[in-house]
């Protein structure tokens, strides 16, 4: 059973967060282990497993990045070591990475801010480009579900790459 089925929600990148939270609170109260303290050990273990499953599902579904990762994994699209980022994007990022290496040896505050702005701009453009696909998924017009998932996978991988660059920038900021 998927996390979406567990919460009786349709698979979606743009969830009804209020419905998710309400269902989570309802299930947490219903399956809280403390309410089963006088039950046989077998029943207590079953309730503990259910409670853990509901909590893990909620944590995943309530976080947009984890939800995206979960959906992509459920469809077999994220495999360890087999996720290719488009080469044109990598070439663009190579320039940014070279600038970061230069900062390592010769810190320049203006260059630091320029790289931060550039990275934020790329993230904003990625978010803007993928938003229509996320909003319409899985009811897409002119695009198959598989094509949409591939677009979302590419977005996810690019954003993950950019987050690593932003983490590096944060380390520079902490040092200066």
Q: Could you please report the per-residue DSSP string of 87-149?
A: HHHHHHHHHHHHHHHHHHHS--HHHHHHHHHHHHHHHHHHHHHHHHHHHHTTS-SSS-HHHHH
Note whether 45 and 56 are within 8 A (CB): no
**pLDDT (0 to 100) of residue 176:** 59
Stretch 167-176: mean pLDDT, rounded? 80
Kindly report the pTM of this predicted structure.
0.86
Higher pLDDT, 148 or 175: 148
Stretch 106-125: mean pLDDT, rounded? 92
| Cis amide linkage into residue 37, ω under 30° from 0 | no
Higher pLDDT, 71 or 37: 71
Note whether 161 and 93 are within 8 A (CB): yes
**pLDDT (0 to 100) of residue 93:** 93
- In tens, the pLDDT along 59-107 reads 999 999 999 999 999 999 998 777 889 999 999 999 999 999 998 888 8
Six-digit token string for 91: 């070439």
- In tens, the pLDDT along 15-32 reads 999 999 999 999 999 988
**pLDDT (0 to 100) of residue 116:** 92
């Amino acid at each position: 059973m998927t996390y979406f089925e567990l919460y009786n929600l349709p698979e979606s990148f743009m969830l009804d967060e209020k419905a998710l939270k309400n269902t989570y609170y309802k299930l947490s109260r219903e399956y809280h282990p403390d309410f089963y303290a006088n039950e046989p050990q077998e029943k207590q273990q079953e309730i503990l497993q259910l409670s853990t499953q509901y909590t893990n599902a909620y944590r995943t579904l309530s976080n947009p990045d984890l939800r995206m990762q979960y959906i992509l994994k459920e469809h077999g699209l994220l495999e360890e070591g087999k996720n290719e980022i488009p080469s044109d994007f990598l070439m663009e990022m190579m320039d940014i990475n070279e600038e970061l290496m230069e900062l390592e040896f010769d810190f320049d505050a203006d260059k630091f801010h320029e790289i931060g702005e550039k990275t934020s701009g790329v993230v904003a453009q990625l978010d803007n480009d993928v938003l229509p696909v996320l909003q319409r998924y899985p009811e897409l017009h002119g695009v198959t579900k598989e094509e949409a998932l591939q677009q979302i996978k590419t977005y996810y991988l690019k954003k993950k790459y950019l987050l690593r660059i932003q983490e590096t920038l944060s380390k520079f900021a902490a040092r200066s």
